[in-house]
Amino acid sequence: MTFALAIERLALTRGHRRLFAGLDLSLRAGDLLSLTGPNGAGKTSLLRVIAGLLAPTEGIVRIRTDSGEAVDGEDRARLVGWLGDRDAVKPQLDVGEQLRFWAKLYGTPAPEPEAFGLKPQLPGQYLSSGQKRRLALARLVLTGRKLWLLDEPLAALDDDGKALLAGKLTAHCAAGGIAIAATHDPLGVDGLTLRLGDA
Amino acid sequence: MLQLGNPRRFLDVTGKLLPWLAAATAVLFAVGLWLALNVPPDYQQGDSVRIMFLHVPAAWVAMMAYGLMAFAGATALVGRHPLADIALKTAAPLGAVFTALGLVTGSLWGRPMWGAFWVWDGRLTSFLLLLFLYLGIIALGNAIEDEVRAARAAAVLAIVGAVNLPIIHFSVQWWTTLHQGASILRQGGPAIAPVFLWPLAIMALAYTALFMTLWIVRIRTTILERKAAVLVATGRA
Amino acid sequence: MSALRTVIARDLMLAVRAGGGAALALAFFAAVATLVPLGIGPDLKLLARIAAGVLWVAAVLAALLSLDRLFQADFEDGSLDLMALAPLSLEALAFAKIVAHWLSTGLPLTVIGALLAVAYGLPAAATGTLVLALLIGTPAVSAIGGIGAALTLSIRRGGLILPFIVLPLVAPVVIFGAGAVAAVLDGLQSGALLFLAAFSLLAVALAPFAAAAGVRLNLGA
């Protein structure tokens, strides 16, 4: 058995607007999926539904773990690594404090900030938006989760940062993980593509 | 109840029921008010006792409405049912109005009885807090744009309030006994003479029927509004 | 347990650092308590009589001041999503945040409350009761306020609506908290502190569930 994600007949209506319906998707360990589509097509909402943060109008999201166990419902949250559209960086805490907090919360070892081009003593309020994105990436890596969900991971990253992200994505998928990234630009890694909003 | 859970079925059933309910409300009010105006004056309170026939049923319906609203809230949270959402949202302003009516009639009765429009009596104070609770639920429901989330948030608050209301009531009772030395009030209302019981019972029925009529009208209106909104949003109208 | 402690420690750190709400709440408490004698006059007998009521009302308002950001700050910058996905239930998260709020606001309010009670000329026995009442009752304010904070976390001006929905719910805390002191001043026996403790226990035990429900429904925003 290998790690896998299955989505069946997924539909989401927000307000009176139908974002997507009848969405089927099946990903296996090692797959990288780029989620594309125009603004407002429902990319972020789809990621939130997959993470279990948002309940779909219809359909199921099911994850099969390495041990063959099928996980759906709220338990799914325990398998998801999240890099949201917002960076979740606290201005009052320095880089090291933030990473140590999230590592303790997720029960995993804290990574070296230097590996992401960050100085541990740098206060959150002085981070540039690109540095905040790097911090968010470091946090995604430290979760050690097998299903990565990334919302516009390239935003504000410089070329080095983009290469760093591509490296982490490649390593994650090579290690048997799955990654889904909502993005407007190419990730720089070969993978599958799903386009939303053309229905 | 389950049958009525379907909005279309609800519209069908209540559409037939509503005229009868409205007629019953009118008849009950006519009889109740006639009786209330024709009972002999109370030997202590004189004609002021007649305010009681408007006051007591308002207070009773205000509490019943809260119970119904909290029940709708629990149903909305557990069953995720759109009709329960609507029932909760529409009951809150009605409950607030009946609570306000209870407070106003209470203070009108208090003027000749106590010599003041407002005294910090245990019941009045409890009801004032109930009014704030209603207003808070309405405000919370209006502040959240998304209909579903607004209804769920209001439902959680309504349930928290339902758990807390008996405690609030008890603590306010305790508060009035603690500060009794400074107050001129007696505990509890006057005992009801049997001659007043009939008009009171009929007025209670009239108020209940009025609340039910208004509630059903509001629920129906909201269902139809949402249907219309869907039609507009999907371009079918 | 360790995840719980981690959240409490982090929220405390955020509360005491620049921009945190703790110092602001304490300053507000002291300012209100100073303003009241200015409005009423320096008559210590009168001030001693109203001290418990004034300090309780001021303490509740001060606690509410720092409550509106309890979940909102983490919601706005995306931290709440990451916390929801962490191996910690939303109920435990809400409990941790309520505890952190009490440690950073309720506890210091109790200490300052003791000083202010002396300034209001409250006799020693009554001051002791007031401090005990604040210590027992402020957790209930943090807990019930936590429900309000969770329900209003996605509302842009949630800080305005929060007091409105929380104040009626904390009425028993003010009644028993101030009532316990009034009973001591009048030389009466009262079970006020016991009622207060029971209410506080109930609030702290149940509030995390209601607050978690509030967070859950708002995460779908």
Nearest CA in chain A to B227: A16
Identify the closest residue of chain C to A48 by CA–CA distance: C220
Q: Is C147 on the interface with B (CB under 8 A)?
A: yes
User: What pLDDT score does B119 carry?
Assistant: 84
Verify whether the Cβ–Cβ distance C219 to A53 is below 8 Å: yes
* Distance (Å, whole) CA B24 – CA C1: 60
Confidence of residue A25 (pLDDT cuts 50, 70, 90): very high
Q: Do C147 and B164 touch (CB under 8 A)?
A: no
Structure tokens at C170: 């904390």
Cβ neighbours of B135 in C, within 8 Å: 164
* Domain range summary for chain A, segments of one domain joined by +: 3-192
Q: Do B229 and A17 touch (CB under 8 A)?
A: no
What is the structure's pLDDT at B5?
Answer: 66
> Per residue in B36-85, pLDDT tens?
888 888 777 778 888 889 999 999 999 999 999 999 999 988 887 889 99
The 8 Å CB, 24+ separation contacts for A126-135 are A127/A89, A127/A95, A128/A156, A129/A87, A129/A155, A129/A156, A130/A156, A130/A157, A130/A158, A130/A161, A132/A87, A132/A89, A132/A156, A133/A87, A133/A157, A133/A161, A134/A161, A134/A164, A135/A87, A135/A89, A135/A95, A135/A98, A135/A99
B146 touches A at CB < 8 Å = yes
pLDDT value of residue B7: 83
CA atoms within 13 A on the CB side of A4: 13
Least confident segment among A61-75, A92-106, A159-173, C150-164: A61-75
**Looking at residue B118, what is its pLDDT?**
86
Q: What is the pLDDT of residues C179-204, one digit of tens each?
A: 999 999 998 888 899 999 999 999 99
ipTM exceeding 0.95? no
Asked if C219 reaches chain B (Cβ–Cβ under 8 Å), the answer is no
Contact: A17, B233; criterion CB under 8 Å: yes
Pairwise CA distance, residues C51 & C189, whole Å: 19
Interchain CB distance below 8 Å, A16 and B146: no
pLDDT classification of C46: cutoffs 50, 70, 90:
very high
The CATH number corresponding to A3-192 among 3.40.640.10, 3.40.50.300, 2.70.150.10, 3.30.420.40 equals 3.40.50.300
